[in-house]
Amino acid sequence: MKVNRKIDKACEGLVALGGDFVYSPGVLSLMTALYLSVDNISAASVTLSKAVNRLMNDKSNEEVLTTLLEECATLYSRLGDQETALQYLESLKNIKPNDKSILARLMNAYMLIDEQKALK
């Protein structure tokens, strides 16, 4: 339990620094990895979701947003939550409508939850 508290405090310290620093890819990656290392999936997903929401509203850094959306889709897919992964993949498709790897990932996710839609 001590390790979990230390990790929570470390992440709280990073968040307390505030500003764009917290939403930089390196810091988000670190925080997500720390949370996942102690199986705090909820905190990892909240951290990534907040960052995605902020960047969706900001739209100033599409490259970072794209990376975060991919990370979120991968995380939820690994956790077996295909519907949430699908939401992130749909957002990715809106940014990069002709990206074949995103379309393939979308098709795979749909095959797991709605085979008829995948075939369309």
Q: What is the CATH number of the domain that holds 37?
A: 1.25.40.10
Beta-carbon count within 10 A of 110 CB: 18
pLDDT at 62 over 80: yes
Question: What's the pLDDT at 116?
Answer: 65
Query: Closest Cα to residue 43, out of 53, 56, 28, 25?
Result: 28
Q: Which residues contact 78 (CB under 8 A, 6 or more apart)?
A: none
pTM, to two decimals: 0.79
| Tokens linked to 18 | 């505030």
Among all chains, which residue has been given the structure tokens 């074949």? 100
Q: How far are the Cα atoms of 10, 33, 64 from residue 1, in angstroms, in the given order?
A: 14, 17, 33
What is the extent of the structural domain holding 23?
Answer: 2-119
Residue 120's pLDDT band (cuts 50, 70, 90): low
Q: How many domains does the chain have?
A: 1
